[in-house]
Structure 1
Amino acid sequence: MQPLTREIGTLGATMMGLGSIVGTGVFVGIGIAAGVAGPAVVIAIALAAAVATCNALSSAQLAANHPVSGGTYEYGYRWLNPTLGFSAGWMFLCAKSASAATAALGFTGYLLNMTGQESGWLVPVAISVVVVLTAIVLAGVRLSNQVNIVIVSITLFALASFVAVGSGQISTANLAMDFEPASLMNATALMFVAFTGYGRIATLGEEVVEPRRTIPRAIITTLVVSMVLYLAVAVVAIGSLGAPALAAATNQQAAPLEIAARSFPLRIHSLIAIGAMTAMLGVLLNLILGLSRVVLAMGRRGDLPQSTSNLRIAVIVVGLVIGSLVAIGSIKTTWSFSAFTVLIYYAVTNLAAIQLADDERLYRRWWAWAGLIACLALGFAIEPSVWATGLGVLAVGLVWHWIRQSKHRTQRPTGPA
């Protein structure tokens, strides 16, 4: 088994979490959710953050007790059963591959909009970005961490500038809310995806220094900072541009915050575009890191081909899968699919946290119960066509798992007669 080196501290882990969260969700996801619930997306962000808090506490205590690569895939096997463990790993791969493809497409959308290029370049450029980031991850986690810190720093500066300059352009009329509960639930599910980046910290469990102390601190810090930032950006974006215009800018140009910034008195739209591009590069980088570790864990256990138990091969496989999803070319499709599959993943996370013994528990059990119920409710609040597709993909994965397990059972020695 290929050993991994513990070299990531609290700051590095927090920055990796922020690099995964502060990206596609804030620069694209807010616009998608605004098209569903209008100005009530502000409420949706708060609700999504509350659900994410429950999940974060479950993830933190599971990772602190079992700090290995693989996240909920490994937790499911340890505290639940092989079927639920595999289901978590499979849903993670589906959800985060789709999120990574969304990040690559979002980066390219902002780039093409800023440079005035035609949208026909969207898929080729996005695939090229996936290739470059995969190569960086292949160079090792230390280089990846250093690149990530630079990316996150640029992104936070750009978003802080957006909030500071745009706060004077808010119109209270744009923030007037009129929504249906179903649309609010749908928007909450879509915004929940934006907060799930803290899971990258857990999937790097074998590479974090003092995991029982570092992982919970990094996850909670990441979540608090991102909640405050998302709420501030959403209020400024919707208050200045209006929810319908923000949604239109997302669907047509995939660059809603840059469009909003064009109405500001200071011409900072280019800075916002640069911040968006670095943010989504950060998301893509961290997703490739996290996905490759889950593929590595599944390869070690035999749920994926044995060759993927080699980290380099796992990284390459992840890059190829993301590139194939990028070829779809639709941000809304990849984002919505990611929402359902990641909610199922975190449902398993909370279910595993419920099983923790008293001496393993860092937080009260009711946090995990609240997270489990919320994840299932939000998952099926998404459009039926999306969750039906997600269930179909899960079924395909379970059939594959059953075939692999059956094959291993038939090949297992039966012993002397």
Structure 2
Amino acid sequence: MPQTHPTAGPPAALQRRLGLPGAIVIGVGSMVGAGVFTSLGLAASTAGPLLVLALVLAGATAWVNATAMAQLAAVHPTSGGAYVYGRRQLGEWAGFVAGWGFVTGKSASIAAMAYTLALYLVPTASGAPDRTARWVAIAAVVVITGITLLGITRTVQATVVIVTPVLALLTVVIVAGFVGVTPGPVPAPGGGPSGAVTDPTPLGVLQGAGLLFFAFAGYARIATMGEEVRDPRRTIPRAVFGALAFTLVLYLLLALSLQAVLGLQGLGQTPTAVRDAVEVVLGPDWVWLAVVGAALACLGSMLNLAAGISRTGLAMARERDLPRPLARISARTSVPWVAQLTAAAVVIVLLLTTDVLTVVGFSSFGVLVYYAVANVSALTLTERVVPGPRWLNLLGAAACLLLAFTLPVQSVLVMLAVFAVGLAGRAVVGLRRR
């Protein structure tokens, strides 16, 4: 069992081991995940020839949220992200809402990514969950948890190892699209949501932007690790915007390339656009490259999500919004190991008991609420370290709430119940303490 700091006295602090390059790697590794391998095709089916506009709208929304997170992280350079920011700027209850939304939403997201990884590696005829796929997903969670327990330095190193081949694969697809390499027929449509690309409508463009927004999720991971970043007032804003700018350019080039390789109709009819593009460019014998790339992208996203959840759990435990043992930190690796193991256990329970592909909406709702609290918190800052008008924060909060409450009704109702349980539990514990 890892050695821990004593629980008496001031809370144990994490060590500042993360510089600008490592922070950017964390951000890029969190964003260039499973979403980009599927969301471009889905968005093309709704946005049609205005796919690039939808992508720009998604990137702009992410940029507004990132501005708020960077402003807050520079002023409050500690672990916990919007949980800490909401608590300090708006009060304890607002902070709890943000933290609860992040912990519950991202736990569901890790479970969904783990199962997506399993479906790539162990495909089934129907795409329905089976025993083998579940155990492959659980094994992935165990491996990722083991890496995160080694410390933030090892997490950055593992992210580099994972994200490098993913970026190399996407680069091959981008270059092939721009040089016109198409040595084979376009594969049969993979079953996109609409079956064919039609003339775009404003609603279709907005739906496409909503689908693409979650391919950007991860830029705030740097902020949740603010206590481990060196010179946070300078490093965090630069890392957030650097990672987001790199990812936006990558996605724009990839969208244009996929349209060139597959055609707009072909892109809009497949949820596995990168795999189909590899089959066209390199031939069927090389499809395994796309499968490996998607699997690594899932692992990279899971790795950084797991680290972010444990840091938010640590912050909430320090304030006794979650059980106090979750605040224990390993003296050797400077990792909140109890929170990390607890998060892994929750994800494994989801994998064993739930069809996790159906809880993606739950994850989206929780994270959008998290960002809404962050934007309102940034609005109240008197010190504006990162330049930006206050109306951007209002716009960001409104956009987050609009997207959250236009999710499928089942997702909204279930997550409202989850929030109600969390808030009621906090109220009961508070009464007992008093």
What interval of TM-score do these two structures reach, taking the shorter chain for normalisation?
A: 0.7 to 0.9
Q: Is the 8 A contact 1:203 1:294 kept in 2?
A: yes
User: Structure 2 vs 1, CA of residues 159 and 358 (structure 1 numbering), >3 Å: closer, same or farther?
Assistant: same
Q: Is the 8 A contact 1:122 1:329 kept in 2?
A: no
Q: Does 1:401 align with 2:418?
A: no
| 344-353 or 371-380: bigger deviation | 371-380
1:224 paired residue number: 245
Query: Structure 1: which amino acid aligns with 2:226?
Result: G
Cα distance, 1:400 vs structure 2:
1.4
| 334-343 or 279-288: bigger deviation | 334-343
2:5 paired residue number: none
Aligned-partner Cα distance in 2 for 1:273–1:298? 37
Q: Does 1:9 align with 2:14?
A: no
Match of 1:264 among 281, 292, 313: 281
Cα distance, 1:181 vs structure 2:
3.5
Q: Does 1:129 align with 2:129?
A: no
Cα distance, 1:233 vs structure 2:
2.3
User: Structure 2 vs 1, CA of residues 54 and 301 (structure 1 numbering), >3 Å: closer, same or farther?
Assistant: same
Cα distance, 1:231 vs structure 2:
2.4
TM-score for both structures, normalised by structure 1: 0.88
| 180-189 or 306-315: bigger deviation | 180-189
Deviations for 1:293-315, whole angstroms, at most 9, x for unmatched residues? Answer: 00111111111111111111100
1:412 paired residue number: none
Cα distance, 1:397 vs structure 2:
1.4
2:122 paired residue number: 112
Aligned-partner Cα distance in 1 for 2:410–2:46? 16
Query: Structure 1: which amino acid aligns with 2:277?
Result: A
Cα distance, 1:408 vs structure 2:
1.9
Cα distance, 1:256 vs structure 2:
4.4
Cα distance, 1:149 vs structure 2:
1.4
RMSD over aligned CA atoms reads 2.7
| 270-279 or 393-402: bigger deviation | 270-279
Match of 1:215 among 224, 230, 236: 236
Q: Is the 8 A contact 1:63 1:215 kept in 2?
A: yes
1:204 paired residue number: 225
Within-5 A mapping of 1:248-287: 250=271, 255-265=272-282, 268-287=286-305
Aligned-partner Cα distance in 2 for 1:368–1:107? 35
2:87 paired residue number: 77
Q: Does 1:354 align with 2:371?
A: no
Q: Is the 8 A contact 2:46 2:208 kept in 1?
A: yes
User: Structure 2 vs 1, CA of residues 123 and 32 (structure 1 numbering), >3 Å: closer, same or farther?
Assistant: farther
Query: Per residue, is there more helix in 1 or in 2?
Result: 1
Percent identical residues:
39
| 4-13 or 389-398: bigger deviation | 389-398
1:334 paired residue number: 359
Q: Is the 8 A contact 1:188 1:378 kept in 2?
A: no
In structure 1, stretches of 5+ residues that fail to align are 410-417
Deviations for 1:323-367, whole angstroms, at most 9, x for unmatched residues? Answer: 223346656423332222211110100000000004656432122
SS in structure 1 at match of 2:107: helix
Aligned-partner Cα distance in 1 for 2:50–2:351? 30
2:158 paired residue number: 147
Aligned-partner Cα distance in 2 for 1:388–1:259? 36
1:415 paired residue number: none
Q: Does 1:18 align with 2:39?
A: no
1:298 paired residue number: 316
Query: Structure 1: which amino acid aligns with 2:279?
Result: R
1:156 paired residue number: 167
| 99-108 or 213-222: bigger deviation | 99-108
Q: Is the 8 A contact 2:237 2:386 kept in 1?
A: no
Aligned-partner Cα distance in 1 for 2:415–2:128? 32
Deviations for 1:68-102, whole angstroms, at most 9, x for unmatched residues? Answer: 10000000000001111100001111221122122
Match of 2:59 among 49, 53, 69: 49
TM-score for both structures, normalised by structure 2: 0.85
Aligned-partner Cα distance in 2 for 1:12–1:315? 20
User: Structure 2 vs 1, CA of residues 188 and 284 (structure 1 numbering), >3 Å: closer, same or farther?
Assistant: same
Cα distance, 1:163 vs structure 2:
1.4
Query: Structure 1: which amino acid aligns with 2:228?
Result: E
Aligned-partner Cα distance in 1 for 2:37–2:362? 18
Aligned-partner Cα distance in 2 for 1:285–1:207? 16
Deviations for 1:205-252, whole angstroms, at most 9, x for unmatched residues? Answer: 1100000000000000111111111222234335544677667754xx
2:7 paired residue number: none
Aligned-partner Cα distance in 1 for 2:210–2:150? 35
Q: Is the 8 A contact 1:39 1:175 kept in 2?
A: no
Cα distance, 1:40 vs structure 2:
4.9
Cα distance, 1:382 vs structure 2:
2.0
| 370-379 or 40-49: bigger deviation | 40-49
Aligned-partner Cα distance in 2 for 1:118–1:387? 24
Aligned-partner Cα distance in 2 for 1:6–1:95? 27
Cα distance, 1:199 vs structure 2:
1.0
| 361-370 or 150-159: bigger deviation | 361-370
Within-5 A mapping of 1:366-377: 366-377=391-402
SS in structure 2 at match of 1:44: helix
